[in-house]
Structure 1
């Protein structure tokens, strides 16, 4: 694929991510993605012959990898785990607030909408969550209950993002960060 084709593909994925995060799987239409991306209709089907499911799946996977890279970089630092989680929550809070409360977790809305009805999208969401959990688990290795703690921390982050978005306030994120710090210190 040439540079122009790669750029068009990236624009389609960016537009899909933007729409899916704000409106969810069912609130995202292919016509909307085409309009947001400025890509020709034929490009959508050329790059994503599997249609909407392939487009959304790759978009969620890509957004999940970006968050995972950020989480991995922080988790790989010498910072205490509580500080790592605090920084992650701050970054996600900034992202959420800067987007006017539209961009919480790039996976949560899609996972909630499709987990019971769309196996291929559910699998992508599960893979992304598992990769984030693995990063936390690796950072917590050697701590008693590290596996359970990794799942708990991820669940708290996800829940806090949903509450922050619903309340249009970073306070749930701040509260979760404080509580995790208490547990880990």
Structure 2
């Protein structure tokens, strides 16, 4: 694929990510994706021949990778797991607040709407969450409960994002950061 094709594909994925994060799977209609991306309709079907589920699945994986990359940078620069978790919550809180409380987790909205009805989207969401759990588990290396703690921390982060979005406040993120620190003592 040439540069123009790659740019068009990226615009389609960017538009889809924005739409699913702010309006969920149902808020990311193909007409909205085309309008927001400025891409021709034919490009959508050329790059995503399996349709909307392929487009959304790739967008979820791509957004998950971007968040995962941010997590990796935070893991490398944080001296403790508690500081790493606090950094993750701060990063996601910045992202949420900067979007006017519209962009929480790029995976949760799709998972909540489609995990029970679409195997490809369930697999995409599960894959992203598994990668994030693995990153947490790696940071917890040596802790006897690393597997359970990784899932617990991820669940706390996801819940805190949901509450922060609902309340339009960072307070749930701050409270969860304190509880993660207490949990790891």
Superposition TM-score tier, normalisation by shorter sequence = over 0.9
Aligned to 1:60: 60
Q: Give the deviation of 1:176 after TM superposition.
A: 0.2
- Where does structure 1 lack aligned partners over 5 or more consecutive residues? none
Q: How many residues align?
A: 185
Partner of 1:157: 157
What is the CA–CA distance in structure 1 between the aligned matches of 2:34 and 2:4, rounded to whole Å? Answer: 16
TM-score by length of 1: 0.98
Poorly superposed stretches of 4+, deviation over 2 Å? none
Point out where structure 2 has 5 or more consecutive residues left out of the alignment: none
Q: RMSD of aligned C-alpha atoms?
A: 0.8
Match of residue 91 from structure 2 = 91
Question: Judging changes above 3 Å, is the alpha-carbon distance between structure 1 residues 50 and 183 closer, same or farther for their aligned structure 2 residues?
Answer: same
Contact 2:78 2:84 (8 Å CA) reproduced: no
Task: For 1:158 and 1:43, locate their aligned partners in 2 and report how far apart those are by CA, in whole Å.
Answer: 34
Q: How far apart, in 2, do the equivalents of 1:134 and 1:8 lie?
A: 32
String of CA shifts for 1:45-82, please: whole Å, max 9, x gaps.
Answer: 01110110000000000000000111122223351110
Matches within 5 A, 1:1-185: 1-185=1-185
- Equivalent residues of 1:48, 1:55 under 8 A apart: yes
Query: With structure 2 as the length reference, what TM-score do the two structures score?
Result: 0.98
